[in-house]
Amino acid sequence: MKFNSKPRFYLYFLAMMLGLWIPQVWAATIHSVAAGGNWSKAETWVGGQVPGEDDSVVVNGVVSVSYPTMQGLTVSRNSILQNDSSYNRTLTVNGDVINNGIIRDNAENGSLSIRVAGNIVNNGTWNNKSTNLIGTQARTTTGNPIQSLELRIANSDLSINNASIAFANKVYFDSELNLVFLNSNEITFSGEVYFSRKVTFPNSAKITFLGKVSNVVNILGEDLIFIYGGNESQEVENNTHNANAN
Q: What is the pLDDT along the chain (246 residues), one digit of tens a residue?
A: 554 555 555 555 555 555 544 444 467 999 999 999 999 999 999 999 999 999 999 999 999 999 999 999 999 999 999 999 888 999 999 999 999 999 999 988 899 999 999 999 999 999 999 999 988 888 888 888 888 999 998 877 888 876 567 787 899 988 888 888 776 678 888 889 998 888 888 877 788 888 888 887 778 877 788 875 544 444 444 443 333 343
- The answer to whether 176 and 201 are in contact (CB under 8 A) is no
Residues in Cβ contact with 20 at an 8 Å cutoff, skipping those fewer than 6 apart? none
Return d(Cα 29, Cα 130) in angstroms, integer: 25
Tell me the C-alpha to C-alpha distance, in Å, between residue 28 and each of 91, 99, 135, 182, 241. 18, 19, 22, 33, 50
The predicted model scores a pTM of 0.80
Quick one: DSSP state of residue 18? H
Return d(Cα 96, Cα 142) in angstroms, integer: 12
Residues in Cβ contact with 115 at an 8 Å cutoff, skipping those fewer than 6 apart? 90, 91, 92, 93, 132, 134
Identity of the residue numbered 24: Q
Return d(Cα 208, Cα 85) in angstroms, integer: 37
Half-sphere exposure of 218 toward its Cβ, with a 13 Å CA cutoff?
19
Instruction: List the chain domain ranges.
Output: 6-237
Identity of the residue numbered 221: G
pLDDT of residue 240: 34
